[in-house]
């Protein structure tokens, strides 16, 4: 049966007379500030406002209006989005959804099977390119932008610069990728500024490792194209012959020190050398500063001077933390408010990369994302959420970037994930409001894009391809031929998008969400007859000016009617008098204030109540 989304205003709130069962009968003595350090339901982390709302787009797909979607289709067949498609109208629509930043994914020039030789760009070899369009993480020139994205290829940098200005003019900030760990096997910078020595140009290729080499070598060995690699399935790719020449072979991007990487390795990339001798106990050679460090700093300065506002750093943990500790302060000398977001998956090193490495934000993937994914699939419990704030990111949760989709992850609506866009409602509410850190929305998520179909290199895997030319069907309905008004969306999709817009705008505007403290109410409610603590999650976010109660029901099919209890000492902690009557206003639906809180929690629902003393 198809689940229809209910407008937030129609979500059922069971209203009854005010009951003192909202509060526990414990002592009403004032609670000291030290309660935060001793209470297991909260932390003593001093909240800081880091509430960015990031809209991520796969730039080549975002503005593509073509709907042919031929597997392995060429640019001329399947179309491609351009910088210029990201119009003022598009940016205003993104801004109205609550965004503060746009992450333009895939801007840098990367290896591709599309022929741009007439524009002076060398043709890549299909044997070392993934997908017809190519991976945006196999960078071919750090100093250039992807020619696919330009209307006039010769003016591609000017078109990018105009997009940056246009984004700023619409009161949004610009984030682009920085891919520091690896480059395309065909890397060669044609656009580098005068006087810049290219990567590898002065390497001593007779040595497997040298501190000032930019790459790692396998002297005396030739690169071997992975057996079984078939770049375009039944079609032939440019220069495809299984004989790509690379002598001596270089180490592959995912730390494979062999001339013959496997087909599931990052074989289309080569690893950069930051002064770590991997084949000799990972010995570190950081003094004097390695040449790669200096080159990477100069690349970051180049883009910073293009007026970008931040970098999402790919696979940040595969680069030594000592490099980040040096380079990020160097860049903040150029632009003090520049932000650095690290793609990170090892929770044991989070604190090190934030405190020592100076990252502003890290991915909260293996913690909150994975836990919420399990809940959305009916496989986990809310204990996963508790573990994240109480253990994994305790003390630095404001530095963790929360999300439910990005270019690497499966779409929520895909059959591989939840199969139902409504499953995102409680999970996205938690992602956006659990802490003071940033939250991210991936384009098409807000209209339930399911990523159906096998695009080519990217098979039927529940993801929107980053390797192929493609139109994104549900997103195209929102785009509506460039009007960006949702004109072709179904009623259900319009309701879903309205939810995302209300949630993200509230997250960006609410004092309590932006900079408030956190208090979990699971322990206070776990004995309630209608409180299933495995599927319901309840917490408070508050400052001395605003108090919010957030309730989420992750069950796909069960309705609950719990009486939510807030202990008296917690009311006092929020600066409220527990003997006084209070009103509750549901902010997502903007419903009228009520004096009761007997809830009816529909399956896969979420509520944000503002608590105020009754006047």
- pLDDT, average across residues 433-454: 98
Pick the closest to residue 79 from 69, 66, 70, 63 (CA basis). Answer: 66
Average pLDDT, integer, range 291-315: 98
* Rounded Cα distance, 49 and 307, in Å: 23
Same structural domain, 459 and 549: no
Question: Which tokens in the block code for residue 220?
Answer: 């005396």
Residue 27 inside a domain? The answer is no
Residues 476, 536, single domain; the answer is no
With bands split at pLDDT 50, 70 and 90, how would you rate the model's confidence at 30?
A: very low
Residue 37 is predicted with a pLDDT of 66
The pLDDT > 70 percentage for the chain reads 94
| Least confidently predicted of 10-14, 32-36, 407-411, 440-444 | 10-14
* Whole-number average pLDDT of the chain: 94
The CATH code of the domain that includes 331 is 3.20.20.80
**Residue range 74-130, pLDDT digits in tens:** 999 999 999 999 999 999 999 999 999 999 999 999 999 999 999 999 999 999 999
CATH code of 538's domain: 2.60.40.1180
pTM value > 0.85: yes
Residue 206 pLDDT class (50, 70, 90 cuts): very high
Backbone φ, ψ for residue 143 (5° rounding):
-100, 15
pLDDT per residue as tens digits for the range 212-245: 999 999 999 999 999 999 999 999 999 999 999 9
Q: Among 49, 69, 151, which Cα is nearest to 465's?
A: 69
Q: Are residue 487 and residue 562 in the same domain, yes or no?
A: no
Asked if residue 217 lies in contact with residue 208, where contact means CB atoms within 8 angstroms, the answer is yes
In the predicted structure, residue 436 carries a pLDDT above the cut 90: yes
For residue 308, what pLDDT is reported? 98
Under a CB-based contact definition with an 8 Å cutoff, are residues 214 and 295 in contact?
yes
484 and 523 share a domain? no
- The answer to whether residue 21 sits within a structural domain is no
Residue 30 covered by a domain? no
**Beta carbons of 64 and 80 less than 8 angstroms apart:** yes
Are 523 and 549 part of one and the same domain?
Answer: yes
- Long-range contacts formed by 375-381: CB under 8 A, 24+ apart: 375/426, 375/427, 375/535, 375/554, 376/412, 376/417, 376/418, 376/423, 376/424, 376/427, 376/554, 377/417, 377/418, 377/423, 378/556, 381/533, 381/534, 381/535
So what's the pLDDT on residue 33? 52
Distance CA 285, CA 105 (A): 32
φ, ψ for residue 431, nearest 5 deg: -55, -40
The tens digit of pLDDT for each residue in 132-170 reads 999 999 999 999 999 999 999 999 999 999 999 999 999
Q: Does residue 59 sit in the same domain as residue 178? A: yes
Q: Do 550 and 488 fall into the same domain? A: no
Residue 36 forms part of a structural domain: no
- Total number of domains constituting the chain: 2
Q: What are phi and psi for residue 538, nearest 5 degrees?
A: -135, 140
In this prediction, residue 7 has a pLDDT band, given cuts at 50, 70 and 90, of very low
Average pLDDT over residues 536-565: 97
Shortest CA distance to 396 belongs to which of 341, 351, 339, 343? 351
Position 598 scores a pLDDT of 84
Q: What stretch of H or E contains 540?
A: strand 536-542
Residues whose CB falls within 8 Å of the CB of residue 110, separated by 6 or more in sequence, listed in order: 134, 135, 136, 137, 138, 139, 140, 146, 184
Does the residue 23 lie in any domain?
A: no
| Total residues found in the chain within this entry | 615
Contacts of 249 (CB under 8 A, 6+ apart): 217, 218, 221, 222, 223, 224, 259
Question: Is the pLDDT confidence value at 546 over 80?
Answer: yes
For 505-521, the pLDDT digits (tens) are 999 999 999 999 999 99
- Examine the domain organization and report whether 243 and 269 are in the same domain: yes
Final residue of a structural domain among 481, 508, 535? 508
Considering the domain architecture, whether residues 456 and 543 belong to the same structural domain is answered as no
- Which of 456, 491, 508 is the endpoint of a domain? 508
**Could you tell me if 502 and 544 lie in one domain?**
no
Residue 558, domain member (yes or no) = yes
* Strand-strand pairing, 139-145 and 217-218: unpaired
Residue-range definition of the domain harbouring residue 283: 53-508
- Tell me, yes or no, whether 400 lies in a domain: yes
Q: Report yes or no on 88 lying in a domain.
A: yes
Report the pLDDT averaged over residues 22-49. Answer: 66
Residue 215 is given by DSSP the state: B
**Residue at token pair 């210029």:** 84
Is pLDDT above 50 for 27? no
- Domain stop point among 508, 530, 549: 508
* Cβ 460 vs Cβ 453: under 8 Å: yes
CB proximity list for 589: less than 8 A, separation 6 or greater: 7, 8, 9, 10, 11
Are residues 583 and 440 part of one domain? no
Tokens 């956190």, located at residue: 518
pLDDT at 34: 54
Q: Tell me the average pLDDT across 511-532.
A: 97
What confidence tens digit (pLDDT) does each residue in 245-286 have? 999 999 999 999 999 999 999 999 999 999 999 999 999 999
pLDDT band for position 596 (50/70/90)? confident
Q: Which pLDDT band, with edges at 50, 70 and 90, does 499 fall under?
A: very high
The torsion angle over the Cα atoms of residues 20, 24, 25 and 26, rounded to 10 degrees, is -150
My answer on whether 394 and 285 are in the same domain is yes
Percent of the chain at pLDDT > 90 equals 93
Answer whether residue 423 shows pLDDT above 60.
yes
């Amino acid at each position: 049966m198809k689940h229809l989304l209910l407008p937030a205003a129609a979500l059922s709130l069971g209203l009854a007379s005010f009951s003192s069962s909202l509060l526990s009968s414990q002592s009403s003595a004032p609670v000291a500030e030290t309660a935060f350090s001793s209470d297991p339901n909260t932390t003593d982390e001093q909240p800081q406002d880091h509430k960015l709302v990031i809209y991520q787009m796969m730039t080549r797909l975002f503005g593509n209006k073509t709907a042919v979607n031929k597997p392995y289709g060429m640019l001329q067949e399947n179309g491609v989005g351009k910088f210029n498609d990201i119009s003022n109208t598009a940016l205003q629509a993104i801004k109205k959804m609550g965004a503060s930043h746009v992450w333009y994914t895939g801007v840098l020039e990367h290896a591709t099977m599309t022929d741009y030789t007439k524009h002076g760009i060398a043709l890549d070899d299909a044997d070392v390119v993934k997908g017809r369009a190519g991976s945006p993480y196999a960078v071919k020139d750090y100093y250039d932008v992807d020619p696919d994205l330009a209307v006039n290829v010769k003016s591609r940098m000017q078109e990018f610069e105009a997009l940056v200005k246009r984004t700023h003019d619409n009161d949004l900030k610009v984030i682009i990728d920085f891919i520091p760990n690896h480059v395309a096997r065909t890397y060669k910078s044609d656009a580098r500024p005068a006087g810049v020595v290219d990567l590898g140009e002065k390497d001593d290729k007779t040595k497997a490792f040298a501190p000032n080499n930019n790459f790692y070598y396998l002297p005396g060995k030739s690169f071997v194209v992975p057996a079984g690699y078939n770049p375009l399935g039944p079609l032939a790719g440019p220069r495809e012959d299984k004989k790509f020449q690379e002598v001596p072979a270089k180490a592959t991007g995912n730390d494979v020190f062999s001339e013959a990487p496997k087909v599931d390795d990052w074989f289309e990339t080569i690893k950069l050398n930051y002064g770590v001798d991997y084949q000799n106990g990972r010995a570190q050679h950081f003094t004097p500063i390695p040449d790669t460090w200096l080159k990477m700093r100069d690349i970051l300065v180049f883009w910073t001077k293009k007026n970008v506002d931040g970098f999402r750093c790919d696979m940040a943990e595969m680069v030594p933390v000592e490099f980040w500790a040096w380079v990020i302060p160097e860049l903040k000398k150029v632009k003090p408010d520049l932000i650095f977001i690290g793609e990170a998956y090892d929770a044991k090193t989070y604190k090190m990369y934030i405190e020592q490495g100076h990252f502003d934000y890290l991915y909260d993937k293996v913690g909150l994302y994975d836990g919420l994914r399990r809940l959305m699939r009916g496989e986990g419990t809310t204990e996963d959420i508790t573990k994240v704030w109480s253990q994994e990111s305790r003390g630095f949760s404001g530095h963790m970037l929360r999300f439910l989709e990005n270019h690497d992850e499966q779409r929520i609506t895909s059959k591989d994930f939840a199969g139902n866009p409504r499953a995102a409602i409680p999970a996205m509410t938690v992602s956006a409001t659990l802490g003071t850190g940033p939250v991210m929305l991936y384009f098409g998520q807000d209209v339930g894009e399911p990523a159906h179909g096998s695009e080519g290199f990217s098979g039927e895997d529940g993801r929107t391809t980053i390797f192929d030319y493609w139109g994104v069907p549900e997103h195209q309905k929102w785009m509506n031929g460039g009007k960006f008004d949702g004109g072709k969306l179904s009623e259900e999709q319009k309701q879903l998008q309205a939810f995302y817009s209300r949630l993200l705008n509230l997250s960006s505007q609410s004092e309590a969400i932006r900079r408030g403290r956190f208090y979990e109410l699971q322990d206070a409610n776990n004995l309630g007859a209608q409180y299933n603590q495995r599927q319901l999650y309840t917490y408070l976010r508050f400052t001395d000016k605003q108090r919010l109660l957030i309730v989420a029901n992750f069950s796909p099919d069960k309705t609950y009617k719990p009486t939510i209890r807030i202990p008296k000492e917690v009311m006092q902690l929020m600066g409220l008098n527990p003997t006084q009557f209070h009103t509750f206003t549901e902010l997502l639906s903007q419903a009228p204030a009520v004096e009761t809180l007997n809830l009816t929690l529909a399956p896969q629902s979420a509520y944000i109540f503002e608590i105020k003393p009754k006047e």
